[in-house]
Structure 1
């Protein structure tokens, strides 16, 4: 356990949960009401579901040595398309399908800029990050579009014993794990991230791989956008998914995936997403002033990342050798 990158994220998550338990003794309590499970832990999972979804897509993008800064804007566009269509027609199913189709097109655009035109991923996705909010604002005409549709409401606020948002995110996690770890796709993604040129010479279609991960990231962002808008039954182009790309990137990094590409950890991403959401909950539980909330979160993230650093982690986890023990006793 001391040799894995999952050690410090797991310890950080446990520490945050224990801190919440100390401040609020009923923090771990769960209750069953009308066939639905409620409690603080369930709230963490539900509120963290959009972040986990986006972090899943971000993990595969980062594994190919890329980055996607547009996921928050894509989430806002998905919510805007859905709510605008529902407000005009009342057809939620078609609205959600249309929104996800738009997200796939946006993912193809990002993939085209990176894989075909060779633009740096941070620049390519920064274009859509900037323009995406404007597109969402145009769709909603700068207004908050509210809807009242039971089917759409189920995506973000519905229950099947557990909140449906949790079930969707966990299903996506299991599906990605099966596809990437039970087939050669995961190895191909890692090979593109380690050395794109060598992968191309070995016959790997790196462009197709890169295109695929950006489309998947946009699709995950679209589903997350549906969750966010559904939870409040409204589309707010200004605030929906705002800065969620930062939380997703932090979740991936905390989970042990390197920004330089290559090997990635879906389990680590899950731990990272739970840590980020638990950290957000902890901020409110212990009463951290709003003006220092981001500083507090940044401090915790920096500590976890430092503990994972190649030069720090071995010094903390390596057991002393017999010779070192003898020298210490002699001194």
Structure 2
């Protein structure tokens, strides 16, 4: 199944059933009155968030979603059956937008959350409702009202406690493999990660938490350069960012270049995103040259937490997890 995090669909609630025009026909009652039943209401369209859904892929193959129509009324005062509601399940974290107006309709950010997207049409009244003292044989009934039609854009924003960011090949996928059960592809070429990966971390202390490995950002990501712009939305919900930097690739003349570049892209995309707390991770510290460059980085950098690790050998991963857990707990307390 492909990872799809944005798509457009149309939804339509059920039309109401028409009312019935009918008259009693009983033995010994030659002039029976009207007995037309009411039409049934149309079904509603409801959207529901589910943790069992991970992608919007299935909506690419079925764009129109309609609830059932209400059934028409019948004679002998029998009302038509109400149309069944249509419940559309989407991944938790899906934001629903009106495609035509650009208005945000609802944010399904909790498992099990539901929202009424489109109310079904009302069933029409049968002719029995229109009998009066002067009009005792009405030969008309109400038609049912039409359902509601909407064009929607679905946008998925992953729900995770921690977002792992950084340049391509910084070691983000290797890190998430080392600390969780997630198994993203790892290779020595840029953009190995083509979709976000989620993993659950169970530290020796504290509660488990969810981490998201976001495909590599590069300069110009906020304008759509590379893969980063498409996936920046997935770190908007995270509480903490883990900024992975390849210590081997640091510029000796400007060790802070990678850190400053990525943070500039975050700020240009969203000020709120740029203000999230960050834990800076200097990777590949099993290599002597990397350790030398990291020392220079730490000399110039003092505003946030920094930890040196080797995602490949596991060096300092426990220290990293301890710091990360502490940061998460401080966010909870705040």
TM-score for both structures, normalised by structure 1: 0.23
Kindly indicate which of the two structures has a greater share of residues assigned to strand.
2
Question: Greater share of helix residues, 1 or 2?
Answer: 1
* Structure with bigger gyration radius: 2
Larger RCO, structure (CA 8 Å, separation 6 or more): 1
